[in-house]
Amino acid sequence: MKFFIPFRKKSPWILHYNAGSCNGCDIEILAALGPKFDLERFGVINTGNPKQSDIFLVTGPVTYRSRERLVERYSQIPEPKVVIAVGSCTTTGGVFRGMYNVEDGIDRYIPVDVYVPGCASTPQLIIDAIVKALDILEAKSKEIEKPFKLFGAIETIGNKLSRLNMAKKVELHEKN
Amino acid sequence: MIWVWIALAPILGGLVYGGERVLRARMQRRLGPPFLQPFYDMFKLLDKRTLIVHAPHALLAVAHFFALWFTVAAIFLGWNLLYIVFLHLIAQMLLILAGYSVRSAYSHLGANRELLMLVAYEPILILVAVGLYLVSGSFEITGMIQKGNYLAQLPLLFAALLMIVPIKVKKSPFDVGEAHQEIVGGVEIEYSGVFYEFLYMSRFLEYLFIYSFVFIFGGESVWLGAVLVAGVFLLVNLVDNATARVRTPQMIKIIYMAAMPLAVLNLVWILR
C-alpha cells in the first residue's frame, strides 16, 4: 500500500553479518551505533534477527566457510531489503583478492545496493551509506529477491510461497 | 469514556515506549529516535513481507496480544486484582507455548527463560494483590483506589514490586527474556512482519500492565499515583542504563532472596 511506503525510511532495522572480516569494520559499525554517532536517531535498531531486518550490513571478504551462512541469512530477510557492503574487502576482496580461501566480495553471491569503501570504513561513511540505502529501500518493490548462487528453487506449497529450499546447498560449488 | 481508553490502550503504551526510548537516549547524551518511532516501526512492519513458520505459531502471537489487551481492559474497568494477575498469566502462557511450538533452539531458550521469569515475578504480583487487599479490604481495583496511604503501610511491598518492574518491561538487570544479541529476542525470533507487530504491541501493553500496579499504590490520590509512576519510570530507565544483564538463575535468586522476604515481612507486619 502506498500509505506505508514513507515509513520504510523512518525505521530501518539492520542486521550485521561478519563474513570473515578482521573486525575493523565491525568495530566501526558498532561505533556508528554507539552514543557518539548515534544511528538510532534515524530509527535504526541493531536487531540481529534476519526475519525482522530491512538492511543487511556485511563486512569481510566472503570466506569459503561463511558463504553458505551469508546466502542463508540473506534469503531469510523479508522484502523489501537492502544490502550494504561495508569495507574494501566486502566490495572487491581488498588485500585478500585472489587468495585461495576467499570469494572476492559478496556481490558474487547476493545483489548489493550500496558499496562502502575504506579499510576500515569510517562511521561517517557507514552513516552516509545507510542514508543512501534508505532512498533505495523506499524505491524498492516487494518482489522476491534471490541470491545469485547456492540456492534451491522457491516452491509453492498450496498457494503459499515456500523458501524452505532457498538457502539449501544445491551443488558442490566451484570457486570462481 | 472508559471504552475509548481501552480501545486506545496500545497507542497509549506506544507513546510510553516512544518516550522511554527518547529518555534513554538523553540519559546517554545522544539525540535518540523521534518520539513517535514505535508507530513508524509498526507501519513499516505492516508493509513487510511476512514469513510464517506454521499457522498456530503465528496465531499464538495474536492470541497473546489480545489476551494482554483484555487484561489491560480489566485493569481500566477496575476488576478484581487477583483475576487480573491470572489473566496476565494466561497471556504469558500463550507466548511460552508459541516459543515451544517451533524447532528453533533460541526460541526454546527464550521460552525457558520466559517461564523462569514467570516463576520469579508471579509470587510477588500475588503478594502485592494480597497486601493491597489486607489494607483496603477489597480485591477490586475500584475499591482499592478509594482508600489512601498504601505507601505508609506497604513500603517494603512497594520495594518488592519495584524489583520486578524491570523483569516485566525487560530492562537491563533482568532482561534475560529478550537478551538482544545473546538469544536474539528469545520467543520473538521466528516472527516477522505483521505477526511480529503483535508481539511488538504487546510489549506496550506490558508497560501499562505493570505501571498500573505502581499506580494503585498511590491510593485515592491520582497525583501521588502519577508521581509514583513517573518516579519508577525514571528509576527503571536509570538502572537500565547503569547495569549489565544478570544470568537467569541469579535473577531468580535475587528476587527470591531480596524481594520475597521484603514482601512477606511487610505482610506479617500488617497482620501482626
Domains in chain A, start-ordered, CATH in brackets?
Answer: 10-143 (3.40.50.12280)
Residue B16: burial class (beta carbons within 10 Å; 0-12, 13-18, 19+): middle
Residues of chain B with confidence (pLDDT) below 70: none
At A166, is the pLDDT very low, low, confident or very high (cuts 50, 70, 90)?
Answer: low
* Inter-chain touch B185–A47, beta carbons under 8 Å: yes
- What's the one-letter identity of residue A41? R
Mean pLDDT of A103-112: 84
Q: By percentage, how much of chain A surpasses pLDDT 70?
A: 89
For residue B249, say if its preceding peptide bond is cis, omega within 30 degrees of 0.
no
Q: Which three cell numbers stand for residue B269?
A: 507486619
Q: Which three cell numbers stand for residue A75?
A: 534469503
In tens, the pLDDT along A108-149 reads 888 898 999 888 889 999 999 999 999 998 888 887 777 777
Q: Provide ipTM, 2 decimals.
A: 0.81
Give the pLDDT score at A176: 45
Pairing of strands A114-116, A82-86: parallel
Give the pLDDT score at A21: 85
Mean pLDDT of A149-170: 66
Cβ density class A82-96: b for 16+ within 10 Å, e for less? bbbbbbbbbbbbbeb
Give the pLDDT score at B5: 85
Angstroms from A173 CA to nearest CA on chain B: 27
* Residue A7 at interface with chain B, using a CB cutoff of 8 Å: yes
Q: Is the pLDDT of residue A174 over 60?
A: no
Measured distance CA(A3)–CA(B193) in Å, rounded: 16
Angstroms from A174 CA to nearest CA on chain B: 31
Nearest to B162 by CA among B81, B272, B263: B263
Give the pLDDT score at A172: 53
CB-CB neighbors (< 8 A) of B47 in chain A:
1, 4-5, 7-8, 142
Q: Is the pLDDT of residue A150 over 70?
A: no
In tens, the pLDDT along B223-251 reads 888 898 999 999 999 998 888 888 888 88
CA A166 to chain CA mean position, Å: 16
Measured distance CA(A170)–CA(B182) in Å, rounded: 31
- What's the one-letter identity of residue B48? K
In tens, the pLDDT along B89-98 reads 999 999 999 9
Q: Which three cell numbers stand for residue A128?
A: 552516509
Measured distance CA(B196)–CA(B238) in Å, rounded: 28
* Inter-chain touch A78–B193, beta carbons under 8 Å: yes
